[in-house]
Amino acid sequence: MKQIYIENMPNLPFNVSEALNQLRVSLGFAGEDIRTIMITSSTPNEGKSFVTMQLWKMMSEVGNRALLIDCDMRNSEMKNKWGFQAEEDIVGIVHFLAGKAEINDIVYSTNIANGYIIPVATNVPNPTILLESQRFRELLDVCKHEFDYILIDTPPLGSVADAMNIAPKTDGSLLIIRSGQTPRKVVENSVSLLRRVGVPLLGVVLNRADTSKHGNNYYYNHYYQYGYYNDKDGYYGKK
């Protein structure tokens, strides 16, 4: 199997690491049938890809065979942001969905033990037809037999329809919300969109929440809280 070396994986502060670890543990209690998870947001720049990458890393480090699928095919920044390096040209999900590669060609092992990734090697302006193809469903069906968890990073719900195409093929979704930035109405619309396609909303991640008594954002700048979304009663989270 080909390998991608991830150069820019940051060391997280304790509070950030612990909050993400709580998210990992909570997902483990969601049920044995919750294994393919879509991670999305309402708008760009809410921290969705960061959460996806760190959650995938933690799942891998505790012994789960975890696969990260980058499905932000219009504007993926993972390869450059996280410093993906390979011995040969990277072949990604677009190549497979377009019929130019097979599954074994696009699944890479990484320098994270038990961590595997399907990258985006080339951005495309309109991947809708690719996501609606039988090959995408085939990809997920095959990977479900090979991995304990599959995390799918998608474009924001409010930007394009890609996440809506992906959601029904997953076991559930996580919604990333940037504290103090994402309007409540926008979040409610995202929840309605997920409801419409019938995908369970497993929870939300409140990103960059200020947890200090005096509003000091410096120390808690990247603090992540995990809350649960209840379809009947609405969102409630940790205080």
Residue-level pLDDT at 210? 64
Query: Is residue 230 pLDDT above 50, yes or no?
Result: no
Residue pair 156/43 in contact (Cβ under 8 Å)? The answer is yes
Share of the chain above pLDDT 70, in %: 87
Q: What's the CATH code of the domain at 103? A: 3.40.50.300
Query: Is residue 145 pLDDT above 70, yes or no?
Result: yes
Segment 210-225 shows an average pLDDT of 41
List all residues 6 or more positions away from 186 whose beta carbon is below 8 Å from its beta carbon. 42, 43, 158
Q: What is the pLDDT of residues 86-128, one digit of tens each?
A: 999 999 999 999 999 999 999 999 999 999 999 999 999 999 9
Structure token pair of residue 114: 């038990």
Burial of 68: CB neighbours in 10 Å, binned 0-12, 13-18, 19+: buried
Cα 68 to Cα 57: distance, rounded to the nearest angstrom: 9
Q: What is the pLDDT of residues 47-71, one digit of tens each?
A: 999 999 999 999 999 999 999 999 9
Burial of 98: CB neighbours in 10 Å, binned 0-12, 13-18, 19+: middle
- Provide the whole-model pTM: 0.87
Residue (of 18, 8, 80, 25) closest to 220 by Cα position: 18
What interhelical angle do 14-28 and 48-61 show, nearest 10?
Answer: 70
Segment 189-197 shows an average pLDDT of 93
Q: What is the pLDDT of residues 165-176, one digit of tens each?
A: 999 999 999 999
Looking at the structure of the chain, the number of domains it has is: 1
Domain that holds residue 132: 3-236
Sign of the torsion angle spanned by Cα atoms 86, 87, 88, 91: negative
Share of the chain above pLDDT 90, in %: 69
Residue (of 235, 181, 172) closest to 209 by Cα position: 181
